Amino acid sequence: MANLASNQKISVKVWEPLITKLDQKMERACLRRDAYLARVLALEVPCLDAEVVLPNSVTAQAYVAAQLETLPRKLMSLALPADLMRSLNEVCKKKRIVRDAFFNRLFLLLAAPPRAIDQLLFDFLDVDWRREVWSEYKHDGPFFTNGFYPLEPDIDPFWAIRAGLDLCTDAADLQDYYEPESGITVKVLRDMADNPMPPASIYGTVLEQKVQGNSLAGLNCYFPESRIPGHPEERRLQASLDAVLAELG
């Protein structure tokens, strides 16, 4: 557990329903919230960097921030390791990620029931991704180690989800793309207008669903300009879709 003296107090504005659900889950599991989050973030910050393979544009970053402002949020104070927060801030700066959007997305996925996970991340599937993961990994990962070492649990809350996304992603659909800002080549998907998109992942998948009238657009760590209403890239994507549909007529 991190030394309290090395912790940094931060404030995050969290969508109100998430605070209630998260607190309930923490209480039922007898978990100390900040200590648990520190362990989760130690794993998730590198994953955030790896899964958001493309940096947001300045316009997309501003759009996500504006969408997040539309949600009814409440201030939450957290005490987290200072070095961990430095790492998170560096990733957010490099990829132009709205930091509060990351925290809200993390809390959403920690608090969400199984059916919500299916809708958010696996709505493109017509197979039971949980069955696929169990069949492939029942002798591996946290399923196995936590059973044998109950006093030293492997805290990796999204292990099965990531395994499911990996199993259900067709490698043939991924293409190499030279990302000019980082100077490295990454794997991407292509949309109808040939725009590069991050592969399906915890933080790369774009959320646009609505929950009780509230848009989840403000909970995105990556958001393409082609999804911003009225943006030239959005019009270009729509024109590409229209051309494809016109061929059906």
SS (H, E, C) 142-153: HHHHHHHCCCCC
pLDDT, tens only, 15-52: 999 999 998 988 888 889 999 999 999 999 999 999 99
Query: Is residue 216 in some structural domain?
Result: yes
The residue among 165, 116, 118 whose CA lies nearest residue 137 is: 165
pLDDT of residue 1: 44
Q: Which of 219-223, 231-235, 240-244 has the lowest mean pLDDT?
A: 240-244
How many structural domains does the chain have? 2
Q: Are 145 and 91 in a shared domain?
A: no
Phi, psi of 18 (to 5 degrees): -70, -35
Q: Are 102 and 127 in a shared domain?
A: no
Range of the domain at 139: 123-149+159-167
Q: Are 50 and 106 in a shared domain?
A: yes
Phi, psi of 236 (to 5 degrees): -65, -40
Q: Are 176 and 66 in a shared domain?
A: yes
Residue 149 has pLDDT above 60, yes or no: no
Question: How buried is residue 80: exposed, middle or buried, by Cβ count under 10 Å (0-12/13-18/19+)?
Answer: buried
Q: Are 9 and 92 in a shared domain?
A: yes
Q: Pick from 167, 202, 229: which residue ends a domain?
A: 167
Residues forming a β-bridge with 75: 13
Confidence band, pLDDT 50/70/90 cuts, at residue 154: low
